[in-house]
Every structure is written in structure tokens, then in C-alpha cells.
Amino acid sequence: MRDFPSCFGESGVQVADSSSSSTTKVAQNLVTCVYQCKLRGRSCLITVTWTKNLMGQGVGVAIDDSNSQCLCKVDIKPWLFSKRKGYKNLEVDSDKVIINWDMSNAKFGSGPEPLEGFYLAITFNLEMVLLLGDMKKEAYKKIESSPVHSKAIFIARREHIFGKKFYSAKAQFSDRGQMHDVTIECDTFDLKDPCLVIRIDSKMVMQVKRLKWKFRGNYTILVDGLPVEVFWDVHNWLFGNAMGNAVFMFQTCLSAEKLWINQSIFDPSVLTWSSSQKLRDCQLQALHAYHLFILIPD
């Protein structure tokens, strides 16, 4: 099945299949975000993929139309051998797309995504389409654009998380909602009855006992007053090899159960970006964002 967006795996930053047992930790250290926007009145998707490997940090940008046709793509290579500041000029049907970035003062945590001191700006015919980072004034000054808030809507995020029994990440369950700390605790070794616990901002919102019988499933929790559907698959942890990954998906689409009505088995090799094709049946708005976590043991 074709990945979503269609040029996701061809955008210069090669994304490893989450089901591959030969994938290295370096290749899987990535965060991918998808935003919906409009270019000349037509709906488009912008995919931003942050990567980290032995060469340093990098980022890839791809733009798809509503038919999953790749309009343009660019790879900003790891910072060790390339400039941390610059721009790329692209054309989409004779329209001008410019990608500007400044990572010269960017601060990073343990992951590939910068935390502060940066901007990544995408303009379409000199109109701001997407602006990421905390250096917004510098971005508008660079591209000589009026400070108009970008209308791009965040709709999806996927990240690979490493740990032993404890995994943590940050998640935003609506386009401009509050940022939350998500922790997943699961001890599958040397236990007769392993248990899965999920906490949001240190508060336990979900607990799954008898995990060997419930290694796949879904459950609805409330975050910021919104129903969030949690899907999990820890089969590889319990019955696979020692390096098997687990998949967790947090989705705020209110009609989430309709997306899986024809899915008899919750398969992590299927639950990749291709699952987003089913999300097209939902109206892509701020409340339809989802997060897909691939948990990999250290």
C-alpha cells in the first residue's frame, strides 16, 4: 500500500518501514509531522520530517495535493556538512514555493526535532503557508512578508521512541491545543501477568491488565474534554523477538471506530502513514489530529 503522503519515502530523507527487523536505531530516530493547507484554493498536505543520525540533524519537506500526488520535495541535509541557514526555491505549476530555514542557534534535546532558536518557513507566491519555530519575527523579516498567522492545520505526527520499560513523549491533540506529556509504561519481561499503563501529564488515564490476552486493542480516553481513541499493539514485545517494536496510536477523530470497521487485525505493518488514506473520510480539521508512536526497546 502506498505511503501517505505519496512521496513520503522518496523525499531524500529515507524513512524505514516500521515493520522491518533490520532497521537500525539511527535510521529510526525521526519525527514526522503532517499539516493541511491550501495552495491557490486547493487542499494540500505538507510533510516535515526531522531526522537525526551520526552525521547530525536534518529535515525533509514534501508537499502533496489532495490526490496524494507529490508536487515538490526537498531534503535539507544533516548540519555537519551543510549550512544551518538558507533557502530553497521550488516551482509548483509555475507558482513559486520558497523554503527558508535558520537552525544556526537551534537547541536540540535527545530527539531530532529542534526545541527552540529556529524557524522553518514555507511561502507560496510570497504568502506564508507554514511557519514552525519560535523565531517568527526573524522569519517574517527574512522573507519580507507581513506577520499573518499561517493557516496550515496540524493533522498528524509520527515518532520513534526508544526506552526499556518507560517511554515518554509530548503530544498536542488539537491544532492549537495544550502540549501534554505522554508516558507509556510496560514491563513485558519476567512477568506472569504484564500490564500496560498510559499517563497524560502524570495522571493515569488507561491501564490494561492481562496483556498477554489483550496485546491488541483500543480504548477511549478524555484529553482537554475531547475523546481520544488509543490503539495499541504490543504483540511483538510479548511473542516476537527481543528487538520487536510496539505501536501506539492516539487519534482525536470522533469517528475513529469507522476507520477500522474493515480491519480485522491491528497490524503495525499496516498502521503506517497509509492508514491516513482512511482519514480522508473524516473532515480534516483541528480535532482530527493523531499521533503514531513506534516504541523500540533500547
Q: What is the pLDDT of residues 93-129, one digit of tens each?
A: 888 999 999 999 999 887 889 999 999 999 988 888 9
How confident is the model over 249-260, as pLDDT tens digits?
Answer: 998 855 434 433
pLDDT of 146 higher than 80:
no
Question: Total domain count for the chain?
Answer: 2
Q: Which of 44-48, 133-137, 170-174, 226-230 shows the lowest mean pLDDT across its residues?
A: 170-174
In a shared domain, residues 146 and 167? no
pLDDT, average across residues 130-139: 92
In a shared domain, residues 72 and 15? yes
The pLDDT score that the predictor gives to residue 253 is 56
Q: Which domain, by its residues, includes 289?
A: 162-297
pLDDT of 9 higher than 60:
no
In a shared domain, residues 119 and 222? no
In a shared domain, residues 256 and 199? yes
Q: Considering 151, 185, 207, which residue would you say is the last residue of a domain? A: 151
Percent of the chain with pLDDT over 90: 27
Q: Considering 151, 183, 211, which residue would you say is the last residue of a domain? A: 151
**Which element (helix H / strand E) includes 137?**
helix 136-143
In a shared domain, residues 62 and 90? yes
Cis preceding linkage at 112, omega within 30: no
Q: How far apart are CA 272 and CA 139, in angstroms?
A: 33
CA-wise closest residue to 233 among 193, 269, 204: 269
Enter the pTM of the model: 0.73
pLDDT of 28 higher than 50:
no
In a shared domain, residues 178 and 279? yes
The pLDDT score that the predictor gives to residue 297 is 79
In a shared domain, residues 209 and 125? no
Q: How far apart are CA 90 and CA 97, in angstroms?
A: 5
pLDDT of 267 higher than 60:
no
Q: How does residue 131 score in pLDDT terms, banded at 50, 70 and 90?
A: very high
pLDDT, average across residues 47-65: 89
Question: Which residue is associated with the grid cell 480535532?
Answer: 287
Residue with the bigger pLDDT between 286 and 180: it is 180
Pair 156, 271: CB distance under 8 Å: no
In a shared domain, residues 12 and 139? yes
In a shared domain, residues 94 and 73? yes
pLDDT of 224 higher than 90:
no
Question: Which residue is associated with the grid cell 475513529?
Answer: 256
pLDDT of 156 higher than 60:
yes
Q: How far apart are CA 47 and CA 174, in angstroms?
A: 17
Residue with the bigger pLDDT between 229 and 23: it is 229
Pair 39, 95: CB distance under 8 Å: yes
Q: How does residue 183 score in pLDDT terms, banded at 50, 70 and 90?
A: very high
Pair 5, 62: CB distance under 8 Å: yes
The pLDDT score that the predictor gives to residue 134 is 93
pLDDT, average across residues 41-54: 89
The pLDDT score that the predictor gives to residue 190 is 61
Q: How far apart are CA 217 and CA 93, in angstroms?
A: 44
pLDDT of 47 higher than 90:
yes
Residue with the bigger pLDDT between 62 and 173: it is 62
The pLDDT score that the predictor gives to residue 202 is 93
CA dist list (Å): 294 to 16, 168, 190: 12, 12, 23
